[in-house]
Structures are given as structure tokens and as C-alpha cells.
Structure 1
Amino acid sequence: MLDFATFEVVRGLHILAVIAWMAGMLFLPRLYAYDAEQADKAEPLRSEMRSLLRIWQHRLLKIIINPSMILAWVFGVWLIVIHMVGFDEGWSFLAQPWMIAKLAGVVALSGWHGFLAKELRRIRAGTSVRTGKFWRMTNEIPFLIAIVMVLSVTTQWTFGQAGA
């Protein structure tokens, strides 16, 4: 069957990848807000600061956020396979309400990630219309999604089952 230590290592690596992914997605909108707010600054400080912010944005996305998302997905899929095959839970494992909520959160976070990546291209092209206020208001979206995901996984709640 399955060595439980393998499961624990994979789960630990998944958690670490998710932490890095979340940290980056919480910080990147803040950099976007700072960038958008540079329009009010006087030249040449504005150009210099924008240049620096865009380097940070690019590096954060390419060096931290993208690789950690890939690792979170890889280890997450591995955990699903372990549950389905190694723990002999089969496909029904994916139909549990808490797992559906978790997977919906993964899809939502991945969508937000894609939105942030696309917005970086717009910012670099000078076609972004988003304001600093927009980025400050949406900055916590990943954290709100993570609350639902973490509580779903840690409580493994179900609907209509006594004692669950």
C-alpha cells in the first residue's frame, strides 16, 4: 500500500508551495497599486520608481508566483492520487463537499493568478486602466478564498451527515 510518511512529505511540500503562491499573490496587487499611484508624481522620480516597480512585479510573478503555483498544483494532484489510489478512496473522494469547495478555490485562485499575469502585461504596455484604489480593494481576494479552502480541508465538512 502507501507509506504514510510519503503522504506527509507531499502534504508538507504542498503547504509550502501554497504559502509561497499566496504570499506572492497578496503582494503583487500592492505593487500594482504603487505603480498606478505614480501617475501623480513628478518626473523624473516617477519614471525611476515605475521602472523599479515593474522589475519587482516581473520578478515576483516569474520567480515566485508562477513556480509556486505549478508546485502547488503538482503536489495537490499528487495528494489527490494518494487519496484515490493509495488510501483506496476512489473517485468518490473528489465528490465530497469539502473537496469540491477546495477545488473550486483552486480554480478561483488560478483564475486570479491569470488575471494578475495579464494585468502585468497591460501595465508594462501602458494600457492598464486600473487604479491604486482598485488594487487596494481587491488585494485580499486570495486570502478570502484561502479561508474557505483551509477551513474546508481542515474540518472536512459535509452536508447532512450526522457526526461528520
Structure 2
Amino acid sequence: MEILWYKALHLIFMVAWFAGIFYLPRLFVYHAQTESAEVSAQLKVMERRLLFFVTPFALLTLIFGALLIYSYGVAWWQASGWMHVKLVLVALLYVYHGYCFKLLADFYHDRNRRSHKFYRIFNEVPVLALFAIIILAILKPF
């Protein structure tokens, strides 16, 4: 029963985390497009609050995911090649999340040099990662 709680909490926190990392780059798109100082100031507040709100969800996703892996055991880990690929993608998502802090600081200090088109593409990265991660977790292809 304990493992089901870990799985449920892992999924709950993952969904909450992804809601934030889907929306934050969209705010960056709007921020890169605006020329209004007032809109820029409002977006700075929204971006900061959102990133700091979802970061604990990212950490809790990691904690409960690690507890799941630990609960399944070493033999399961060794036999689950799909999990190794999934964890590489997850690690890249944490790098992505960390990079959002750098982008946040760039906007905060008015030193963004990237276009709204960059942020539109950047916005798609977690979507593609989520597709791959879900397919790996459900289909377990290897």
C-alpha cells in the first residue's frame, strides 16, 4: 500500500510542477513581446511567483519518484531499461527548470536578449519531454 501512496503523490506533484513549467515560458513569450514598462513589471512579479511556487513541486516529484524506485528494489531497477531513459529525460527537465531561474533573472534585470520566438520554441520542450516520459512509463518498451 505504501508504494501506491508514493506513486499517487509522485503523480500529483508532477502534474502541479508541469502546470508551472508549461505556463512560465508562455509568460516569457509575453514578456519578450511587451514594450510597456507597467506590463513588464507585472510579468516580473508573475514569473517570479510562479517559478517559486512550482519549485517545491519539482522537489517533491523527485523525492517521491526516488522513493518509488527504492521501493521497487535493485532487481527491478536493473531490469527496467526504460526507467534509465526516463531518468535522463527527467534530469534534462530539472536542467530546464534551473535554466528558467537564469531567464527569470535576465528579465528581472532587464537584460533579456532573446525574442518571443525563442520562448515559443522553449515552451515546447517540456511538452515533448512529457510525451516521451509518459510513453516510457506506460509502455515500458525495454
TM-score, length of structure 2 as denominator length: 0.95
Q: Does 1:117 align with 2:101?
A: yes
How far apart in 2 are the matches of 1:48 and 1:127?
Answer: 17
Asked if the contact 1:119/1:128 (under 8 Å) is kept, the reply is yes
Aligned to 2:132: 148
| Structure number with higher helix proportion | 2
Structure 1, unaligned stretches of length 5 or more?
A: 40-45, 85-89, 159-164
Aligned to 1:59: 49
Aligned to 1:38: 34
Shift in Å, 1:36: 0.8
Q: Does 1:81 align with 2:77?
A: no
Closer, same or farther: CA 72–94 of 1 in aligned 2, 3 Å? farther
Larger Rg: 1
Shift in Å, 1:96: 2.5
Structure 2, unaligned stretches of length 5 or more?
A: none
| 3-state SS of 2:34 partner | helix
How far apart in 2 are the matches of 1:81 and 1:97?
Answer: 16
Aligned to 2:60: 71
Match of 2:5 among 6, 9, 21: 9
Asked if the contact 1:101/1:148 (under 8 Å) is kept, the reply is no
Q: How does 1:19-30 map to 2 (within 5 A)?
A: 19-30=15-26
- Aligned CA RMSD, in angstroms, stands at 1.3
TM-score, length of structure 1 as denominator length: 0.82
Counterpart amino acid of residue 33 in structure 2? E
Give the 4+ runs in structure 1 shifted more than 6 A. Answer: none
Q: Alignment length, in residue pairs?
A: 142
| 3-state SS of 1:129 partner | coil
Aligned to 1:49: 39
Shift in Å, 1:71: 0.4
Closer, same or farther: CA 81–126 of 1 in aligned 2, 3 Å? same
How far apart in 1 are the matches of 2:102 and 2:140?
Answer: 34
Counterpart amino acid of residue 41 in structure 2? S
How far apart in 1 are the matches of 2:90 and 2:43?
Answer: 28
Q: How does 1:88-127 map to 2 (within 5 A)?
A: 90=74, 93-94=77-78, 96-127=80-111
